[in-house]
């Protein structure tokens, strides 16, 4: 349920890793990280999930910035007893250059072409 669970957070990503995840009805490849917005004593460490449609992008930007990635995310809070995560709907990367944005755009386009070429009933690249 996304309604009334909207979240906007801004901070530095830490401990980014690729995972196969299952959170309620959400099951797929994803990137999982900790978004640091403040000291942990003030509740400033947030587990965030970048679903499959955002996972390639965040991993590419993290690699290009040497893991020093600042981001603002819009998403929604998914809570179950004893655990809560923020599921990312949109990410704005704050400390990347236009050259890095162009590189990631090319990587995403190539990935989409590979996916499309592998679907049954679709013509592959010529």
- How far apart (Å, rounded) are the C-alpha atoms in residues 56 and 119? 19
25-50 residue pLDDT tens: 766 889 999 999 999 889 899 999 99
Q: What are phi and psi of 117, to 5 degrees?
A: -65, -25
Domain contains 126: no
Q: How confident is the model at residue 125 (pLDDT cuts 50, 70, 90)?
A: low
Count of other CB atoms within 10 angstroms of residue 1: 9
- How far apart (Å, rounded) are the C-alpha atoms in residues 58 and 33? 10
Domain contains 51: yes
Domain contains 100: yes
Q: What is the CATH number of the domain that holds 51?
A: 2.40.50.140
* Mean pLDDT (the chain, rounded): 88
Domain contains 1: no
77-106 residue pLDDT tens: 988 788 889 999 999 999 999 999 999 999
Residues whose CB falls within 8 Å of the CB of residue 57, separated by 6 or more in sequence, listed in order:
50, 91, 104, 108
The residues pairing with 17 across neighbouring beta strands, listed in sequence order, are: 32
- How far apart (Å, rounded) are the C-alpha atoms in residues 56 and 45? 22
Domain contains 18: yes
Residue 31 is predicted with a pLDDT of 95
Domain contains 125: no
């Amino acid at each position: 349920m996304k309604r009334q669970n909207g979240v906007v957070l801004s901070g530095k990503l830490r401990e980014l890793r690729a995972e196969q995840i299952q959170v309620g009805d959400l099951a797929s490849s994803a990137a999982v990280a900790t978004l640091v917005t403040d000291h942990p004593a003030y509740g400033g460490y947030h587990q965030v999930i970048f679903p499959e449609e955002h996972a390639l992008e965040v991993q590419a930007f993290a690699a290009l910035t040497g893991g020093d990635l600042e981001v603002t995310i819009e998403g929604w809070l998914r809570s179950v007893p004893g655990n809560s995560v923020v599921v990312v709907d949109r990410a704005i990367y704050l400390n990347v250059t236009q050259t890095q944005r162009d590189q990631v755009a090319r990587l995403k386009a190539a990935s989409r072409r590979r996916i499309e070429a592998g679907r049954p009933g679709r013509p592959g690249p010529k």
